[in-house]
Amino acid sequence: MGLDRVVKPHIRSLEPYQPGKPIEELERELGIDDVIKLASNESPLGPSPRAVAALRSGLEGVHRYPDGASFELRRALARRLAVDEEQLVFGCGADELLELVAKTCLGPGDEAVHAWPSFAMYPIVVRGMGATPVAVPLDADLVHDLDAMRAAITERTRVVMLCNPNNPTGTSLGAEAFDAFVASLPEDLVLVVDEAYFEYRRREDFPDALTWLSRRPGTVVLRTFSKIYGLAGLRVGYGVADRELAGYLQRARHPFNVNRLAEVAALAALDDEDHARRSRDVNAAGAAYLTRELAGLGIEVWPTDANFVLARIGEGQSERLLREGIIVRPLGGFGMPEHVRISIGLPEENERLVKTLRRLREAGR
């Protein structure tokens, strides 16, 4: 094939990201109309009604380019987080921020250290720049092994990524371990703290990563409107960094990388604190319910600080759930064929999952 000579080897060898199976696809396959999806960590409550209203009124303006500076969203978030406006960089999802960091800091010969299993996009964005991902296995409790990550840092390391809480395990790092690790890092690398699930955190000693922005230049904290704010389909996330790093990431982005509708919806969602609180409460109750009920079925579950739980339901069980119209995320791709990641749903969705698992287990005896 002629393109073999044109397409770069590091792109040719990329494994495409595997998204969760769409509800509509499974409904067509099974000929049913009540499929539930607990697979992509989306908000089961949906977006804030205020965000939906803002979207409706924003429709009339779509012939205009977005505000490339995201002026209003920037001002509102800077106030909320008590940071300078110049410290914020918006992206087409937090995913784009990962890509901007890779584009800004990585090339052939460079290394990026991250945990594994962790967010599947890390090795993809690193390889996409021709750099080398260095995946450090989680410890026995499926928590970041910070000593091993520290030991994996070499002269070639340009970026270190921490996912806290970690996707797909839901486990998190406490402040003491986190702070000691960050303090131990060399200055000449960029630290990415991916906090896509920050707003769901429940542990009391969850680290305050933002305090490191002034203490450790070269740090960027990632957050998103896709999870607790229920705007995954609009694609808007952001990074908070020290001014210097934020300035470089700004240069690397496209001028209109966040679309107009995403900007107005994110602004309205940010304003609807009641909705976010409800999402957090529904999630906390669902986490407690699933943890208790799955353990009651003899299924191993891990503590979670996010909107999903890691459960060891057994090999082949996610396919059986699929045939029952329930989509969860299998983790065979992470070398964990017995484990699945279950996004916490509405109470009735969680109950249907538990009932179905109970039935499948009884039938399997």
Would you count residue 110 as binding ligand PLP (CB under 6 A)? Answer: no
Would you count residue 279 as binding ligand PLP (CB under 6 A)? Answer: no
**With respect to ligand PLP, which residue has the nearer C-beta, 181 or 229?**
229
For the bound state, the minimum distance from the C-beta of residue 44 to ligand PLP, rounded and expressed in Å, comes to 15
Would you count residue 95 as binding ligand PLP (CB under 6 A)? Answer: yes
**With respect to ligand PLP, which residue has the nearer C-beta, 120 or 360?**
120
Would you count residue 224 as binding ligand PLP (CB under 6 A)? Answer: yes
Would you count residue 232 as binding ligand PLP (CB under 6 A)? Answer: yes
**With respect to ligand PLP, which residue has the nearer C-beta, 229 or 354?**
229
Number of residues that bind ligand PLP (CB under 6 A): 13
| Rounded CA separation 269/256 (Å) | 20
**With respect to ligand PLP, which residue has the nearer C-beta, 166 or 318?**
166
Would you count residue 237 as binding ligand PLP (CB under 6 A)? Answer: yes
Would you count residue 43 as binding ligand PLP (CB under 6 A)? Answer: no
- Residues 22-41 touching ligand PLP, rule: CB under 6 A, are 41
Count CB-CB contacts under 10 A for residue 339: 25
Query: Interface mask (CB under 6 A) for ligand PLP, residues 178-197, using x and -?
Result: ----------------x-x-
**With respect to ligand PLP, which residue has the nearer C-beta, 101 or 357?**
101
Would you count residue 119 as binding ligand PLP (CB under 6 A)? Answer: yes
Q: 310 is written with which tokens?
A: 């890691």
By Cβ distance, which residue is nearest to ligand PLP?
93
Would you count residue 167 as binding ligand PLP (CB under 6 A)? Answer: yes
**With respect to ligand PLP, which residue has the nearer C-beta, 229 or 352?**
229
| Rounded CA separation 132/59 (Å) | 42
Residue type, 98: L
Positions in the binding site for ligand PLP (CB under 6 A): 41, 93-95, 119, 163, 167, 194, 196, 224, 226, 232, 237
